[in-house]
Amino acid sequence: MNYLIKYLLLLIPAFFYSKAFTQSKDLVEKENELIALNSKIDYKLRLALSKGYDSTSYNSVDHNVAVFEQAFTHLITSDPNTIDYPFNKLRDSSICVVTTAADGKMRVYNLNSWQLLTQIYQWKEKGKVYTKVTRNQKDSILLCREIYAIPVNGKRYYLPVTSTIIWPSHAMQSVAAWRINGNSLEPVTLFKNKSKKQDHIEVPFSFYNFAPKIKDSLLAFISYDNLQKKVYIPCVNEKGLFTQRYFIYEVKDGCLELTQTGPHP
């Protein structure tokens, strides 16, 4: 009997390793299929451009872009193992930006090729994985740059930092505070200043920050110092240009409270 128990104990980890390897292999194949479809779209677009205006060729491109978006969305929303998969090929091909919180419990996918407007939120709690699919505005770019996981009074909150550009006139950085509650993401009024509490902060800025000779440019993003427990929100001047100063929010009394303005250390 003892030998049988020892044998079974050896089989159990081997079974789980085999299962994990199979799941990873499946996702590798799915990612390769998406890469191949992306290459097909690129080929058909170049073919359409070489023919001048040809509605049939452009319709074929549009069809394959829709197929790509549907396939990717279905993969993320139907397979919970995707939350732990790196998607390195999609990221290296600039097809999709994947942003993951340090604790691995929240992700944001931004499809940023072929003028796709899909953004997918993915999170896990108590062994289950959930998703939320959103679509951005037309003629816009919305990109999650970072997700900070911040503990406050023993609870963990997630702060996605997003850059938004809506052509031709609107540009903004923003940070929101969310809490995972089962199958939903709940906004939390975590930010506090002298006059109010709010669940997000927006920083509109000028496109002139893109000018090559502007010193304080788009490097000045909203950031979080994990050691000091401080969030830095960049200040802009009356022309919408970034300055060297920040609004500094600190973890204090169960919230992120605005305590001072000053330079980023």
Kindly report, residue by residue over 9-45, the tens digit of the pLDDT.
Answer: 444 444 434 444 445 679 999 999 999 998 988 888 8
For the chain, the residue count is 265
Would strands 255-263 and 242-252 be described as parallel, antiparallel, or unpaired? antiparallel
Q: Is residue 88 one of the residues assigned to a domain? A: no
Q: Is residue 86 one of the residues assigned to a domain? A: no
Other C-beta atoms closer than 10 Å to the C-beta of 217 total 15
Kindly report, residue by residue over 232-249, the tens digit of the pLDDT.
Answer: 999 999 988 888 899 999
Would strands 155-166 and 140-152 be described as parallel, antiparallel, or unpaired? antiparallel
Kindly report, residue by residue over 76-112, the tens digit of the pLDDT.
Answer: 999 999 999 999 999 998 889 999 999 999 999 998 7
Q: Is residue 166 one of the residues assigned to a domain? A: yes
How much is the pLDDT for 220? 60
Structural domains counted in the chain: 1
Q: Which of 16-25, 217-226, 250-259 has the lowest mean pLDDT?
A: 16-25
- For residue 4, give the amino acid letter: L
Shortest CA distance to 153 belongs to which of 190, 200, 194? 190
Q: Is residue 207 one of the residues assigned to a domain? A: yes
Q: Is residue 204 one of the residues assigned to a domain? A: yes
Structure tokens at 184: 């939903």
In sequence order, what are the residues at sequence separation of 6 or more whose Cβ sits closer than 8 angstroms to the Cβ of residue 245?
Answer: 235, 261, 262, 263
Q: Is residue 141 one of the residues assigned to a domain? A: yes
Q: Is residue 192 one of the residues assigned to a domain? A: yes
Q: What values do phi and psi take at 182, rounded to 5?
A: 65, -120
Q: Is residue 36 one of the residues assigned to a domain? A: no
- For residue 77, give the amino acid letter: T
Q: What is the mean pLDDT of the chain?
A: 85
Rounded to two decimals, the pTM is 0.84
Coarse DSSP helix, strand, coil percentages of the chain, rounded to the nearest 5 percent: 35, 40, 25
The domain in which residue 173 lies consists of 136-265
Shortest CA distance to 164 belongs to which of 134, 202, 199? 202
